[in-house]
A and B are shown apart, each in its own frame.
Chain A
Amino acid sequence: MNAPLLEIVELVRHFPVRSAFGRRVGWLRAVDGVSLTVLPGETLGLVGESGCGKSTLGKTVMGIHAPTAGDIRFAGREIGRLPRRARRAVAKDLQYVYQDPGASLDPRWKVGPLLHEPLKIHTTLSRAEREREVRAILAAVGLPDAHLDLYPHELSGGQQRRVGLARILTLRPRLVILDEPTSGLDVSVQASVLKLFRSLQETFALTYVFISHDLSVVRAMCARIAVMYLGKIVELGPTAGVFEKPRHPYTQSLLAAVPRIGGRRVTQDFALEGEPPNPRDVPSGCRFRTRCSLAQARCAVEEPPLRPLDGRTVACHFA
């Protein structure tokens, strides 16, 4: 069968919390032991609310942050602990798209040089060959050749986004991490962007890790989904199954909280009280217990591992 393209094993990323004098007074446990695999060609969704660590996870896999502990295996090769130069070479196959891809463009460079640059870094193609590649990618994202001579600020936001994507695609990566790609977008613009992602996935045979807090978007785009809470995965499985019958209490509350058009009003059913704890101060045992209706003594003592249940894995003693 397919070997996983990306394998994350007990990945940990902690940030030091410093006092006013620079002394470390604690740790912000942003990613606190996450394991998952991504198969070639699939779109894995990573959902959770702010502070759950999904963005940090994406950046750590990408190498923007160094892992505190754990393994990251890409195409069978461990990449979390590579020396810097070798790690840079991995960028050819593993890429990361920011929430606003337009912001990833140097405002002082024209679009043409911006698109040539990844090829200059990673390949030894001649100028003419690079130009051919660049024009092909530009067409693939639906932009005219004329844009090669423009500066980013001379393009609309949507066009900047496409240039940002094109820049990454020139490398023909195998896996692309999309970090909140539709956050803050109007719903019709979001639809266009999602359509673009789908068509690019087909054209370039991409594998996606789709990080988002918007559950309806994740449901439409991802075949498998991982739900994160305070640095750990609480439920992981096929999207359809998880949405229809969520097993973890947090997933249940999360899905219940999403306002839906048609059907019952959320506010009639919804029952999750309180606020998520501070990631600097994670509760002992199961970290969701402070807000969980099923919590019992065992939950404070023993952290539940991910165990298989009903076609997915769930981290709960009483699911």
Chain B
Amino acid sequence: MAELLAVRGLRVEFATDRGPAQVLDGISLDVGPGEVVGLVGESGCGKTTLARAILGVLPAGAARIRDGEVRFKGADLLREDPRVVNDHVRGRAITFIPQDPFTSFSPLFSVETQMMDLMKWKSPRATNGGGPPSIFRRYPRARYRADREAVLEALRAVQIPEPARALRRLPHEFSGGQRQRLMIAMALLPRPDLIIADEPTTALDVTIQAQILRLLRELVKERGVSVLFTTHDLGTAHEICDRVVVMYAGQEMEAAPTDAFFGRPAHPYTRRLLASVPSPDGEIRDIPGEVPSLVAPPSGCRFHPRCDHATAECREVRPAPRELGEDHAVRCHHPVDAPAEVDR
């Protein structure tokens, strides 16, 4: 199957006070066309770094890509001409929904100004002759009108009441949930193939979150857009994703279709993670130990210091991906073959 996005062996290092931190340790990940993939993990696991690496917006001074490739529609984004990637891929074929709706808009300009600014450069109708954005570039009238129509249409699709009036308002006049709707609209306008959503509902109340998740899923399924959805909330991943990938300390541990992931998790970390979600029976299960430092990470499989099933092999060699059938891959020397511990 031709994957839309194929990350292979990505290795990213960050410079810190205490030395270089191995934030991503050879990550491989696939996203198929029209597929919603959830990237799940706790803080420090590297999911946001991975999202940024794919977009190509890692902090230039601090981060270094040491190895690996990011293949999008066949081409390796890390090795293509950066200007071509900037014009045609970033903000166009791949768009982004950030986590914090409260700081993602400029407070100074109206929604219309900000969205039309986006359309000026990234509208599907634009014929970019190449070259960096310049304030001297003209915005042809006819295209402007067509783009504005598209923007109004997008606002209707994300259920913003009275789109024409909404355009004239400033972002802070909207609630958090409404601003996320605007971000979703902006992410869809360039007609992307892939949307990277970085914890888009974490900052929202649970009832608003439910509305946003439903909206996002409807819209992407309608348009056949793929989504790479990072989250630390397993429930959210279950809600909206077709497949789930779990990361720990910069390594991906398991990737499976949603039902298999939650029903028969194979990796000890996945099992423990699922078990630590508070369950109705009132019993609380945590994971002994602490998240390791990425400056001096454990060797081999990075979860081995906290794992019940660990052996010497786990300490020495990082497990290669093992197919457990039906698109279910796990990187573990001792995968578990049993239903999830806690019955929900």
Contacts and interface: CB of A to CB of B under 8 A. Distances in A.
A270 B277 contact: no
A270 B214 contact: yes
A221 to B, nearest CB: 8
A216 B278 contact: yes
Interface stretch (A3-11, A72-80, A191-199): A191-199
A108 B274 CA distance: 39
Given A220-B279, A220-B282, A275-B175, A259 B235 contact: yes
SS class of chain A's interface: helix, strand, loop or mixed?
helix
Contact of B263 (A187, A195, A243, A262): A262
Nearest to A216: B278
A213 interface: yes
Interface in A34-50: 49-50
Interface string B303-316: 00000000000000
Nearest to B285: A191
B239 A265 contact: yes
A267 B210 contact: yes
Contact of A49 (B206, B340, B343): B206
A209 to B, nearest CB: 18
A278 to B, nearest CB: 9
Contacts of A50: 205
Interface in A213-244: 213, 215-217, 219-221, 243
B59 to A, nearest CB: 23
B318 interface: no
B110 interface: no
A194 B42 contact: no
A37 B285 CA distance: 30
B344 interface: yes
Contacts of A267: 210, 213-214, 217, 239-240
Contacts of A189: 42, 286
A113 interface: no
Contact of A188 (B235, B236, B262, B287): B287
A260 B235 contact: yes
Nearest to B288: A192
A78 to B, nearest CB: 34
Query: In the complex, which range does the number of interface residues on chain A fall in?
Result: 35 or more
B211 interface: yes
B192 interface: no
Contact of B278 (A220, A256, A273): A220
A195 B283 CA distance: 9
A308 interface: no
Contacts of B104: none
A266 B278 contact: no
A272 interface: yes
Contacts of A194: 278, 284
A261 B286 contact: no
Given A189-B42, A220-B284, A267-B239, A261 B262 contact: yes
Nearest to B231: A259
B207 A191 contact: no
B193 to A, nearest CB: 23
A21 B164 CA distance: 33
B272 A49 contact: no
A282 interface: no
Interface in B234-284: 234-236, 238-240, 262-263, 272-274, 276-280, 282-284
Given A259-B209, A260-B235, 8 more contacts: A49-B207, A50-B205, A186-B232, A191-B276, A191-B278, A194-B278, A195-B284, A213-B205
13 contacts: A186-B232, A188-B286, A188-B287, A191-B286, A192-B286, A219-B278, A220-B278, A253-B207, A257-B206, A265-B238, A266-B239, A267-B213, A275-B175
Task: Report the 8 A-B pairs with minimum CB-CB distance, sorted nearest first.
Answer: A259-B235, A191-B286, A186-B42, A220-B278, A267-B214, A262-B344, A49-B205, A257-B210
